Amino acid sequence: MTAQPPGTPEDPQAAQARAFFDAARGRIDGFVARNFSVTGSAAMHRRAFGLDLLRAPLNVVLAPIHALTRLFALIARLLRARRLAGWLDRRSFVLPTRVAAEVEARLVHELLGIARPAKAPRGLSRLLEEAPELRQLLRDGESPEAIAARTRAAADTIAAYSGTRSAVAELTTALLTIVFGAWVFRRLTPGMVSFGPALADSFARETALSSFPLGRGAASLWYGVFPVGATLSQVMVITGALIALASVVTAFAGVIADPVQARVGLHRRRLHRLVDALETDLTGAPPRRFAANEHYYARVFDLLDLGSGLFRHFR
């Protein structure tokens, strides 16, 4: 939406848009308090029971691919290949979960203040397009194609926001793994690729000590000179089991991450950025993209985990 020259009356449509999104900004604090407290987040994550537990490990595997598409989109944008950047931005390799769908629904109905229809249309873009609260904002002199493009951009922005929650959940699981690895093994374990071999070695040593014929005292002396380690098959089995366990933990990690982020103000700042981006999407103003950098932070932990595992293997 183009800015009005100074001293001229504000366009009624611009005034309506400003009032609508200012009202959404005013709901942010209440939205965070209701949905991202310990009880609010726990209630929301009850939906993770079921098929989300199957989607979780697949999302962990697909997350690096998702991050790469966002990186390539950024490069394309810097090279002014806007059409390619837009195409890449619309590609998502994160499987939709019930928790993510619930977050998106609450953003639309509680934060934006759009009433729940008696029969919800298929797709978030269509829901926004048919919302009575947005009808005047979207349809004043706009073609159906332009309206569809605006609502599609807004739906993509909301999906990008919900995608950041998956990345934050991965970060939370990685931090828990680091704390546990430092406590138990006194080493850096930023993920299961590094944690699994450490646990396998510990298991192999404990098995060797308990089965030594001359007792644990003699076994400690013997294996102090001739260290025992896990076999490759043991490492693979234990690491695979831990990866599966970590993916389940990741599905519920928001119960820990949400209250912490709410406490330090991260949720509030992220939601302000979301509303700013949605305002530009739905009004046709120059785009103000919603930055989702959490995926890149999660990949840093992946690289640390892989590097730690390779260091152990080749040392």
pLDDT in tens, 150-204: 888 888 889 888 888 888 888 888 888 888 888 877 777 777 777 888 888 887 7
pLDDT of residue 64 exceeding 80: no
Q: What mean pLDDT do residues 279-284 have?
A: 84
For the chain, give the mean pLDDT. 80
Task: Tell me the two tokens of residue 315.
Answer: 């040392």
Q: How far apart are CA 88 and CA 221, in angstroms?
A: 59
pLDDT digits 0-9 by tens, 226-276: 677 777 788 888 888 888 888 888 888 889 999 999 999 999 999 999 999
* Dihedral-angle region of residue 39 (phi above 0 means left; psi in -120 to 50 means alpha; beta otherwise): alpha
Cα distance from N-terminal residue to C-terminal residue, the chain: 60
Q: How far apart are CA 64 and CA 296, in angstroms?
A: 9
pLDDT of 91 reads 74
Highest mean pLDDT among 29-43, 76-90, 291-305: 29-43
pLDDT of residue 2 exceeding 60: no
